[in-house]
C-alpha cells in the first residue's frame, strides 16, 4: 500500500507518542520531532507506511538511546493475553466451529497495537469480534487453502497478539512456521516475545532478519526470503503486513482489524472492521 | 498559550484539510505539506499556535494561488446561521434571563470552525449549549464588568459565528465595537462576512489590520492597537483569541468551546466544554 499524505501527520503523532512512552524529556522529544520532520521531507514516493514507520521508530530509539524501549510494555501485553488464554482456549474447545472461533480470536488479538492508538480493552474486543460480521470474508478460500497446504508460514505482528495467534495455530492441523521480527520495532513481537507467549511449543519460530514493522521483503534475511518464496500459504497478521504485502497475490491471507482510516479505505471497508482477505 | 509538540501533527493535518478544501491537486497538496514541514522545523519557541496557523494557512493560500479559498464556505456558514436567526432571537426574547441565553448562544456559534474539525450540527449544538453547565463560569464577573463598562470591544472569530455574536450584542445595553480580521485567514470573519451577518446594524465594525487567526497584537494595525489599549472590557471569541490573549489580564472575557485537547488542558477543563473565562 502506498503512503498517503494523510499518513504524514500520523507519523508525527506516532513519533511523539512513542518518544514520550519511553519517558524522554522535552529536549529529546523536540529532537525526535525535528528529525522526523526532516525525514518526512525526504520520503521516496514508493515507500510503504511501515518502511517510513521503521525509520520513525529508529529515530525514536536513537534519540532515547535505548535498544528496545517497548520491552516492558510488550512483556505486559503478553502477560495480559496469557491471563486470558485459558478462557480463550475454552471458547475454541466448546465451539461448534473451532476454526472459525480461533480465526476470530486471532483477529481480536490484533487490537493490541501501540502504533496508531494504544487504548483498548482486550476482553471487550474478544466479545465484539466473536459477534462481528466480517467486512471482507474470504474464510471459504482460507479453509480451502488450508486443505491444500502442507505447512503454513505465519507472519506475526505484535507482542500479546502472539498468544491469540498461538490459539489459531493450535487449531490448525498443519505444521506452522511463525515469523517474528529480527529486532525491536515498536511493540512488534521478537523471538523473546514469541517464546514468552509459548509459540515455540506449537510452531517453529524464526525471525525475518529485519527490525522493521510489517514484512519489508527487501530488508529481510536471505533465509527468510527463501522460506517466503517456498510457502504455498501465508497468514499475515495486522495492518503493517497488509501495507507491505498487499500486492503479493492470492497465497497470502490477511487477518486484521482496520484501525486506520487509510488502510480501511485501501481494503474497501469501514474503520473498525474485521477482515480475512485473500491477497 | 504556548505551542505544544502535540500541535505539530495538528498543523500538518490542518494544512492538508485546508489545501484539499480548496480543490488543490495532488502536486499542490504535496507542495503545501513540504512547505509546512519546513516551517515546522523553524518555529520560534515563543510563537503561539495561531501565529503558526497563520503561516500554515498563508502557505495554503500561496500554493493554490487564491486570495480567499474559504469565501464560499464562509458565505454558506453565514447563510446557515442567518436561517436560524429568527428562532435564536425568539429564544432570547422568551428567556427569563436573556443575557444568559444570549451568552450561551454566542458560545454555541463557536462550533462553526474549519480549523481543528469542521463537522458539526448547528441546531444540535444550540440545544446542547443551552443546557450544558459552564466548565469555567465567570458569568458574575462578566455581568459586573458590563455594568461598569461604557463600551465593549468584541473580538470576533469565524464567519457564521458572527450571527450568534450579533444576538449577544443586541442583548447588551452598551455600544459595541466589533473587530474582524484585516484579511482572509481560514474561515475567520472579515468585514464582508460581518456585514453579511448584519453586524454593521448593531455595532461599529472595524478590522484589526491583520490576516492572522486570533489577535496577534504585534501584527495588528496601530489604530486597532490604540483601541485595544483603551478598552476597559473586551469580549474575545473562540480558541484562537484565547491562545493569543490568554495572558492579557482581567479585562478580557473569553467565550469559547474547547475543541482542542491542548487548549482544554490549558484552560483546565475537558474537551467539549463551554467556557466563560475572565483573563
For residues A167-187, average pLDDT = 96
**How many structural domains is chain B composed of?**
2
Here the cell at position A65 is 538511546
Residue A2 lies in a domain: no
Which residue in B has a C-alpha nearest to residue A32's C-alpha? B5
Task: Answer for the pair B107, B135: CB distance below 8 angstroms, yes or no.
Answer: no
In the block, cell 522535552 appears at A26
Q: B100 and B40, same structural domain?
A: no
Find residue B179's DSSP bridge partners. B155, B206
Query: What secondary structure, in 3-state letters, does B154-202 show?
Result: EECCECCHHHHHHHHHHHCCCCEEEEEECCCCCCECEHHHHHHCCHHHC
CA A277 to chain centre: 15
Are B16 and A34 within 8 A, CB to CB? no
Asked which of A40-49, A251-260, B87-96, B130-139 is least confident by mean pLDDT, the reply is A40-49
- Answer yes or no: is pLDDT of A131 > 70: yes
Q: Which residues of A touch B37 (CB under 8 A)?
A: 8, 37, 40-41
How much is the pLDDT for A69?
84
Does the ipTM surpass 0.85? no
Residue A176 lies in a domain: yes
For residues B232-245, average pLDDT = 97
How far apart CA A146 and CA A232 sit, in angstroms, is 10
Here the cell at position B278 is 475572565
Are B5 and A29 within 8 A, CB to CB? yes
Q: List the single best residue of A8, A20, A260 to mutate versus B (max B Cβ within 10 A).
A: A8
- Whole-prediction pTM: 0.85
How much is the pLDDT for A219?
93
Residue A1 lies in a domain: no
- DSSP readout, chain A? -PPPTTHHHHHHHHHHHHHHHTT--HHHHHHHHHHHHHHHTT--TT--HHHHHHHHHHHHHHHHT-S-TTHHHHHHHHHHHHHHHHHHHHHHHT-SSHHHHHHHHHHHGGG--SSS-----HHHHHHHHHHPPEEEE-HHHHHHHHHH-SSEEEE--BTTHHHHHHHHHHHSSS-EEEEEBSS--TTB-BHHHHHHTTGGGTSEEEE-S--SSS--GGGS-HHHHHHHHH-S-EEEEHHHHHHHHTTS-TTEEEEEE--SHHHHHHHTS-TT-EEEEE-
- Answer yes or no: is pLDDT of A230 > 80: yes
How far apart CA A230 and CA A21 sit, in angstroms, is 39
In the block, cell 474464510 appears at A139
Q: A114 and A16, same structural domain?
A: no
Of B33, B38, B40, the CB nearest to A5: B33
How far apart CA B156 and CA A59 sit, in angstroms, is 43
- Answer yes or no: is pLDDT of A129 > 90: yes
Q: Which residues of A touch B42 (CB under 8 A)?
A: none
How much is the pLDDT for A23?
87
Are B10 and A8 within 8 A, CB to CB? no
- Answer yes or no: is pLDDT of B131 > 50: yes
CA A87 to chain centre: 23
Q: Work out whether strand A204-207 and strand A234-237 pair parallel, antiparallel, or are unpaired.
A: unpaired
Structural domain harbouring A77: 71-278
Q: Which of residues 2-61 of A touch B (CB under 8 A)?
A: 5-6, 8-10, 12-13, 16, 29-30, 33-34, 37-38, 40-41
Of B8, B13, B37, the CB nearest to A41: B37
Q: Which of residues 244-263 of B touch A (CB under 8 A)?
A: none
Task: Answer for the pair B74, B189: CB distance below 8 angstroms, yes or no.
Answer: yes
Q: Work out whether strand B234-237 and strand B204-207 pair parallel, antiparallel, or are unpaired.
A: unpaired
How much is the pLDDT for B69?
84
Q: B136 and B50, same structural domain?
A: no
Residue A58 lies in a domain: yes
Q: Which residues of B touch A4 (CB under 8 A)?
A: none
Q: A56 and A76, same structural domain?
A: no
- pLDDT: which is higher, A161 or B68: A161
How far apart CA B12 and CA A72 sit, in angstroms, is 32
Q: B133 and B16, same structural domain?
A: no
Which residue in B has a C-alpha nearest to residue A28's C-alpha? B5
Q: List the single best residue of B2, B4, B7, B8 to mutate versus A (max A Cβ within 10 A).
A: B8
Confidence of residue B116 (pLDDT cuts 50, 70, 90): very low
With vertex at residue B60, the alpha carbon angle to CA B57 and CA B62, rounded to the nearest 5 degrees, is 110
CATH at residue B267:
3.40.50.10880
Are A10 and B9 within 8 A, CB to CB? yes
Q: Which residues of A touch B29 (CB under 8 A)?
A: 5
For residues A127-133, average pLDDT = 96
Coil vs helix vs strand at B135: strand
Q: Does A174 touch chain B (CB under 8 A)?
A: no
Q: B41 and B109, same structural domain?
A: no
Q: Which residues of B touch A29 (CB under 8 A)?
A: 5
Compute the count of residue pairs across chains A and B with CB atoms less than 8 Å apart.
37
Domain final position from B48, B64, B80? B64
Asked which of A255-269, B35-49, B61-75, B162-176 is least confident by mean pLDDT, the reply is B61-75
How much is the pLDDT for B118?
55
Which residue in A has a C-alpha nearest to residue B45's C-alpha? A30
Closest CA–CA distance from residue B49 to any residue of chain A (Å): 16
Q: A257 and A171, same structural domain?
A: yes
Residue A215 region by backbone torsions, left for phi larger than 0, else alpha for psi between -120 and 50, else beta: beta
Confidence of residue A116 (pLDDT cuts 50, 70, 90): very low
Q: B204 and B86, same structural domain?
A: yes
Q: Which residues of B touch A13 (CB under 8 A)?
A: 9
Q: B48 and B171, same structural domain?
A: no
Q: B159 and B24, same structural domain?
A: no
What residues have CB less than 8 Å from B136, skipping those under 6 apart? B267, B268, B269, B273, B275, B276, B277
For residues A9-18, average pLDDT = 93
Query: What secondary structure, in 3-state letters, does A221-261 show?
Result: CHHHHHHHHHCCCEEEEHHHHHHHHCCCCCCEEEEEECCCH
Q: B159 and B21, same structural domain?
A: no
Mean pLDDT of chain A: 94
Are B16 and A6 within 8 A, CB to CB? yes
Domain final position from A64, A98, A113? A64
Q: A134 and A94, same structural domain?
A: yes
Sign (positive or negative) of CA dihedral B156, B160, B166, B168:
negative
- Answer yes or no: is pLDDT of A202 > 50: yes
Domain final position from B28, B48, B64? B64
Q: CA end-to-end span of chain A, whole Å? A: 12
Closest CA–CA distance from residue B183 to any residue of chain A (Å): 28
Q: Which residues of A touch B2 (CB under 8 A)?
A: none
Of B6, B12, B41, the CB nearest to A8: B12
How much is the pLDDT for B119?
62
How much is the pLDDT for A45?
79
Amino acid at each position: 500500500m502506498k503512503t498517503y499524505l494523510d499518513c504524514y501527520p500520523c507519523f508525527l503523532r506516532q513519533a511523539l507518542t512513542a518518544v514520550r512512552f519511553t519517558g524522554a524529556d522535552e529536549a529529546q522529544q523536540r529532537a525526535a520531532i525535528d528529525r522526523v520532520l526532516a525525514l518526512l521531507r525526504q520520503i521516496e514516493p514508493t515507500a510503504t507506511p511501515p518502511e517510513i514507520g521503521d525509520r520513525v521508530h529508529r529515530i525514536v530509539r536513537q534519540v532515547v538511546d535505548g535498544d528496545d524501549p517497548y520491552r516492558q510494555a510488550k512483556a505486559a501485553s503478553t502477560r495480559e493475553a496469557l491471563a486470558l488464554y485459558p478462557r480463550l482456549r475454552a471458547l475454541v474447545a466448546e465451539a461448534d466451529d473451532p476454526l472459525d472461533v480461533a480465526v476470530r480470536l486471532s483477529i481480536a488479538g490484533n487490537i493490541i497495537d501501540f502504533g496508531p492508538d494504544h487504548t483498548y480493552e482486550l476482553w471487550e474486543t474478544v466479545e465484539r469480534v466473536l459477534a462481528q460480521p466480517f467486512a471482507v470474508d474470504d474464510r471459504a478460500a482460507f479453509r480451502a487453502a488450508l486443505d491444500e497446504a502442507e505447512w503454513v508460514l505465519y507472519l506475526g505482528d505484535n507482542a500479546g497478539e502472539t498468544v491469540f495467534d498461538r490459539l489459531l495455530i493450535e487449531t490448525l492441523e498443519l505444521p506452522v512456521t511463525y515469523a517474528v521480527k529480527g529486532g525491536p520495532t515498536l511493540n512488534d513481537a521478537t523471538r523473546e516475545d514469541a517464546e514468552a507467549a509459548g509459540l515455540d511449543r506449537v510452531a517453529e519460530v524464526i525471525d525475518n532478519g529485519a527490525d522493521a514493522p510489517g514484512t519489508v521483503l527487501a530488508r529481510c534475511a536471505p533465509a527468510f526470503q527463501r522460506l517466503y518464496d517456498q510457502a504455498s500459504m501465508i497468514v499475515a497478521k495486522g495492518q503493517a503486513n497488509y501495507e507491505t504485502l498487499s500486492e503479493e497475490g492470492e497465497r497470502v491471507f490477511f487477518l486484521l482489524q482496520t484501525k486506520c482510516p487509510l488502510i480501511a479505505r485501501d481494503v474497501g471497508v469501514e474503520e473498525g472492521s474485521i477482515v480475512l482477505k485473500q491477497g
